[in-house]
Structure 1
Amino acid sequence: MEKVVKLTSENGILIFSKSTCCLCYAVQILFQELRVCPLVYEIDHDPEGKEIEKALMRMGCSGPVPAVFINGKLVGSTNEVMSLHLSGSLIPLLKPYQAMS
């Protein structure tokens, strides 16, 4: 849990992911298209990955991955991120992190 809190507090946008997860990839592509560069933390490459998964579930993430944090706050998994995007609420959250074109 400490590792999750530390990573989320140190990074503006953080996606906990697994390298084999297609939903994680979809969220990463969405963020890329919205011109933000989140830190993507592949928990399947971390020896403490199982503990991180459990911590994310305890924090309220509907599935262990993807778990998206913006400005230190849990936004949620794929459904929550896509719902925010479709409602027009995601871009204002990402604005401070968007690259200038």
Structure 2
Amino acid sequence: MSAAKAKAQKIIDENAVAVFSKSYCPYCKDTKSLLNDLGAKYYIIELDQVDDGSDIQRALVEINGQSSVPNIYIKKEHIGGNSDLQAKKGQLKALLTDAGAL
């Protein structure tokens, strides 16, 4: 397993909510805004601000098939991107509570 894949998997495994993001991405900003509005505790990694960000993004494609950001996990389950998270708005509070993130 590559170092980037191991790092990505460790982030997914060790955090109730993990968001792989890029600081300039408007969809990532929408995701962070929604989570912040709900008061969620989440781990965020800005892939454009870490040296191995592009390697981690490639590793996420291997892990879940998604190449875009945001790439969101709740309780180790791949949620998808911002549109997937927004579509779960009605059940998001329950998901976050169940994950221990609220």
Give the shorter-chain TM-score range: 0.7 to 0.9
Q: Equivalents in 1 of 2:50, 2:78: separation in Å?
A: 20
How big is the shift at 1:18?
A: 0.5
For 1:29, give the aligned amino acid: S
**Is 2:53 the partner of 1:49?**
yes
Whether 1:22 aligns to 2:26 is yes
Identity among equivalent pairs (%)? 28
1:15 and 1:66 in contact (8 A); partners too: yes
- Counterparts of 1:97 and 1:15 in 2: how far apart (Å)? 13
Give the one of 81, 85, 90 matched to 2:85. 81
2:65 is matched with 60
Contact 1:54–1:64 (Cα < 8 Å) also in 2:
no
- Which residue number corresponds to residue 43 of structure 2? 39
- Give the Cα–Cα distance (whole angstroms) in 1 for the partners of residues 26 and 50 of structure 2: 19
Number of positions where the alignment pairs a residue of Structure 1 with one of Structure 2: 95
Which 5+ residue runs of structure 1 have no aligned equivalent? none
Q: What TM-score, normalized by structure 1, do the two folds share?
A: 0.86
Residues 16 and 65, structure 1, Cα contact 8 Å, conserved in 2:
yes
AA in 1 matched with 2:76 = G
Aligned amino acid, residue 78 of structure 1: N
Q: How far apart in 1 are the matches of 2:79 and 2:59?
A: 15
Residue 47 of structure 1 aligns with an amino acid whose one-letter code is D
2:94 alignment partner in structure 1: 92
CA–CA distance in structure 1, aligned partners of residues 61 and 8 of structure 2: 11
Task: Point out the structure with the larger helix share.
Answer: 2
- What is the Cα deviation at residue 74 of structure 1? 1.1
Runs of 4+ aligned residues of structure 1 deviating over 3 Å after TM superposition are: none
Query: Root-mean-square deviation (CA), in Å?
Result: 1.2
